[in-house]
Structures are given as structure tokens and as C-alpha cells.
A = this chain, B = another copy of it.
């Protein structure tokens, strides 16, 4: 299983935003592209993938590849699923999530709880420009990558990762967008560490 935890620092926590202006909705366009990059293959989808989007440190939207339906490759499509999750968010009670659409679940939660949940699944890898090159890391079967949107991790988030992350890795010398980092992380795993396939 591969998992991606993406924190949206200014992301909306209500469904009151327009799909015609995703950048204006707290740069939700970044998170939308991360979802697409996590699940999308050419005319296919990746089943063995989970994404957790942390919205405003209040809600966590969980996408499950094995259950997911209705995701197309354009930004608006992912935006529509996120809006659906925020419309359903009041159905989440305590630790119980609400299901907004097939494979899209929403619950109350913050960065720390999302990271803790991801760490239960496998090796937790922080993706950061200052990390060691990922190419030196043996590919892992069960891995959760944690990355930030267009902003850097806050000091509080960095402290959470300091405690929880098994690795801090970078994907290259250039500071790439979060969704491109998802794409490269997949490629690193697909090719057994940029080697055989």
C-alpha cells in the first residue's frame, strides 16, 4: 500500500467554494492535483493507494483507491469530490467518519492525527527539499509519504514529523510542486528505486 498525506494550510473547511476558482479556494487546486497524481494512470486507476487531505487542521478527507469512483483527471473532478466530502462532514461524529461518495470519507482530524494514522500502515517518509536523496532509500512495500501544499510545513507540523517520520527524503535538486512530488514518488516505487522494471 502507498499512502500520501497532504496538508492544505489554507484549504476550505466548508463546501462554500466555486469549482471555477479552485486557486481562490485556499489553493485547493494543489490538493486536487495531488489526488489526481496519486490515483491516475492512463485510462486506469491505482487501487493500492490511499490519500489523506488535511483541510485547515479541522477535517481529514480520506480517499481509498480500491473503492474510489467518479474521479476523472481534471482538477474540477477532484475538487467536486472534496466539495462533496465537505458537504457530508457534519455526518462525521467523534472518531466515526462519514462517507460522501464511493471511496471518499471525511472525519474530524488534524495533521497530527492524519500522520499517526498513516504511520500505522507502514514506513513514514517526509518529503522535503532538505531531505536526503530518495534514490539512496531501498524501495518499500508499505510506505506513507507526507507532504505539504504550496506552503512549507509549520513549526508545529515539523515537530510532529520530527517525532513520527522514519525518513526525510527529497526527490531531486529542484523544488517541485506537491503533485509532481506524488508523481515522482510513484515512479520511484514503480521502478524499484529508479532501477529495474
* B40 with A180: CB separation less than 8 A: yes
Chain A residues in contact with chain B, CB under 8 A? 20, 22-23, 29-30, 33, 37, 40-44, 46, 72-76, 129, 133, 135, 150, 171-178, 180, 183-184, 186-187, 190-191, 194-195, 197
* A174 with B195: CB separation less than 8 A: no
* A72→B40 CA distance, assembly (Å): 22
* Given contact pairs A29-B74, A73-B29, A73-B30, A174 touches B20 in the complex (Cβ within 8 A): no
Residues of chain B within 8 A (CB-CB) of A40 are 177, 180
* A76→B180 CA distance, assembly (Å): 18
* Given contact pairs A29-B73, A29-B74, A180-B183, A174 touches B150 in the complex (Cβ within 8 A): no
* B75 with A75: CB separation less than 8 A: yes
* A195→B135 CA distance, assembly (Å): 7
Which of B41, B177, B183, B187 is A42 in contact with, Cβ under 8 Å? B177
* A20 with B23: CB separation less than 8 A: no
Which of B171, B172, B177 is A73 in contact with, Cβ under 8 Å? B177
* Given contact pairs A40-B177, A177-B40, A172 touches B195 in the complex (Cβ within 8 A): no
Q: What are 15 A-B interface contacts by the 8 Å CB criterion?
A: A23-B74, A29-B73, A29-B74, A30-B73, A42-B175, A43-B175, A46-B174, A73-B177, A74-B75, A174-B190, A176-B183, A176-B187, A183-B184, A184-B184, A194-B194
